[in-house]
């Protein structure tokens, strides 16, 4: 027993894909733990407040209503289709940006627990994603109310630009129909991506503390570069524009646009390009591959770095 202590290792090195998968698998299995932690975060945030997490709903409603009214006047767009657009966009964006900004802080903010309790890292990533999902769920109430109010306008063909469906210039949207159900797989893809983003950025940000600052400064810019408060329809012909804007292909390079699209478009009966789905699925695969490599190499280092 004593003789060979130096040359045989009883466990394989901690850097293996098996260990990375084990972490993710056992993390996923402990639903009660991350579910509880995620809920606890929401409850704590609105502790002692009477309205509680419904402040989320109210905030979302006020912002969307205010900006919706303002921008519809600025751009000269019809309120009954533009307001649902902006509300839905805000909810989806809120989830995306929340998962990015809080996801990269996942391990840093759980430092105490990581150093105190042995648990898979995935627990903390799921805690973050689950919290964001719950927040999005509260915001969905605003969506339901707005869409109920404007349903007549949304349930038939419409263009966000007035004449899109009659002249053939610009985007003509089919209106809400059964394709609304595809928002569910759309959100599932989004959540899957939130998973890898949280794990990967979380690990990297724990090591390099400049990364969160960098991303924070970029996220605001990304918000304006993604069609959320402005409709992408504006870049197509129509409303006095001769042809398609040179900016359109650039905006379509923004992957966040496609992620917003796969959830938002079906929810408000808008036209969606198959390209958006392809981009989203492609990024899911590439992203998880990268995240697995990061998890394989640096999973065991996180508790040293926090």
Partner 1 sequence: MVSIDVRNAYVDFPIFDAKTRSMKKRVLGKVGGKIGSDSKVPIIEALQDVNLQLSDGDRLALVGHNGAGKSTLLRLLSGIYEPTRGSAKVTGKVAPVFDLGVGMDPETSGFENIIVRGLFLGKSRKEMEKRIDDIAEFTELGDYLAMPLRTYSTGMRVRLALGVVTSIDPEILILDEGLGAVDASFMNKARDRLKDLVKRSGILVFASHSDELLLELCDQAMWMDEGRVRQHGRLREVLTGYKGRDPFQNVSREVLERLGQANPDDLAKPSDGTANGQATDTSAATAPANGG
Among positions 20, 24, 37, 165, the unique one binding partner 1 when judged by CB under 8 A: 37
Q: Which long-range contacts (CB under 8 A, 24 or more apart) does 13-21 make?
A: 14/299, 14/300, 15/296, 15/297, 15/300, 16/296, 17/292, 17/296, 19/296, 19/299, 19/300, 20/292, 20/295, 20/296, 20/299, 21/292
DSSP symbol at 241: B
Alpha-carbon distances, residue 137 vs 91, 107, 121, 187, 287 (angstroms): 9, 24, 25, 11, 25
Nearest distance from residue 276's CB to partner 1, in Å? 38
Among 18, 44, 148, 240, binds partner 1 (CB under 8 A): 44
Shortest spacing between CB 7 and partner 1, in angstroms: 10
**Which of 95, 82, 70, 107 minimizes the C-alpha distance to 295?**
107
Residue 20: CB minimum distance to partner 1, A: 13
Pick from 100, 95, 71, 99: which is nearest to 83 by CA? 71
Q: Which is nearer to partner 1, 96 or 114 (CB)?
A: 114
What is the nearest approach in angstroms of partner 1 to the Cβ of residue 207? Answer: 8
Does position 305 bind partner 1 by CB under 8 A?
yes
The pattern of x and - marking residues 7 through 36 that bind partner 1 according to CB under 8 A reads: -xxxx--x---------------x-xx--x
Q: Give me the least distance between CB of 114 and partner 1, in Å please.
A: 7
Using the minimum distance from each CB to partner 1, give the nearer residue, 119 or 180: 119
Among positions 69, 219, 281, 300, the unique one binding partner 1 when judged by CB under 8 A: 300
Chosen residue from 2, 18, 217, 221 binding partner 1 by CB under 8 A: 2
- Closest distance of CB 253 from partner 1, Å: 35
Closer by beta carbon to partner 1, 15 or else 241: 15
Size of the site for partner 1 (CB under 8 A): 29
Binders in 77-106 for partner 1, by CB under 8 A:
none
- Which phi and psi angles does 237 have, rounded to 5°? -65, 160
Asked if residue 204 binds partner 1 (CB under 8 A), the reply is no
d(CA 127, CA 243): 46
Q: Taking CB under 8 A as the rule, does residue 214 contact partner 1?
A: no
Q: For residue 156, what are the CA distances in angstroms to 24, 137, 172, 218? A: 44, 26, 11, 37
Task: Quote the least distance from Cβ 119 to partner 1, whole Å.
Answer: 6
Site for partner 1 in 109-138 (CB under 8 A): 112-119
Indicate whether 210 belongs to the interface with partner 1 (CB under 8 A): no
* Closest C-alpha among 149, 134, 111, 103 to residue 36: 134
| Closest approach of partner 1 to the CB of residue 1, in Å | 7
Residue 37 CA to residue 103 CA, distance in Å, equals 15
Region for residue 273 given its phi and psi (left: phi exceeds 0; alpha: psi -120 to 50; beta: otherwise): beta
Distance CA 98, CA 219 (A): 10
Among positions 17, 21, 25, 40, the unique one binding partner 1 when judged by CB under 8 A = 40
Binding positions for partner 1, rule: CB under 8 A: 1-2, 5-6, 8-11, 14, 30, 32-33, 36-37, 40, 44, 47, 112-119, 300, 303-305
């Amino acid at each position: 027993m004593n003789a060979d202590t130096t040359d045989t290792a009883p466990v394989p090195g901690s850097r293996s894909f098996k260990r990375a998968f084990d972490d993710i698998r056992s993390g996923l299995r402990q639903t009660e733990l991350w579910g509880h932690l995620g809920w606890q975060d929401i409850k704590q945030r609105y502790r002692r407040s009477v309205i509680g997490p419904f402040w989320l709903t109210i905030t979302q409603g006020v912002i969307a209503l205010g900006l919706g009214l303002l921008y519809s006047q600025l751009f000269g767009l019809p309120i009954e289709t533009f307001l649902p657009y902006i509300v839905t966009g805000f909810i989806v964006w809120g989830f995306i940006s929340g998962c990015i900004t809080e996801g990269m802080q996942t391990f840093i903010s759980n430092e105490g627990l990581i150093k105190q309790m042995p648990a898979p890292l995935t627990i903390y990533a799921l805690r973050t994603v689950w919290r964001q999902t719950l927040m999005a769920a509260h915001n969905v109430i605003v969506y339901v109310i707005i869409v109920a109010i404007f349903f007549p306008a949304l349930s038939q063909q419409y263009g966000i630009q007035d004449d899109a469906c009659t002249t053939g210039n610009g985007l003509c949207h089919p209106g809400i129909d059964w394709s609304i159900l595809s928002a569910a797989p759309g959100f599932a893809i989004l959540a899957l991506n939130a998973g890898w983003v949280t794990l990967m950025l979380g690990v990297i940000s724990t090591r390099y503390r400049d990364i969160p600052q960098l991303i924070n400064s970029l996220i605001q810019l990304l918000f304006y570069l993604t069609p959320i408060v402005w409709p992408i329809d504006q870049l197509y012909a129509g409303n006095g524009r001769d042809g398609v804007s040179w900016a359109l292909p650039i905006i379509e390079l923004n992957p966040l646009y496609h992620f917003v699209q796969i959830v938002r478009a079906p929810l408000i009966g808008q036209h969606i390009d198959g390209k958006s789905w392809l981009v989203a699925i492609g990024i899911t695969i590439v992203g998880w591959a990268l995240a697995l490599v990061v998890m394989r190499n640096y999973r065991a280092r996180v508790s040293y770095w926090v």
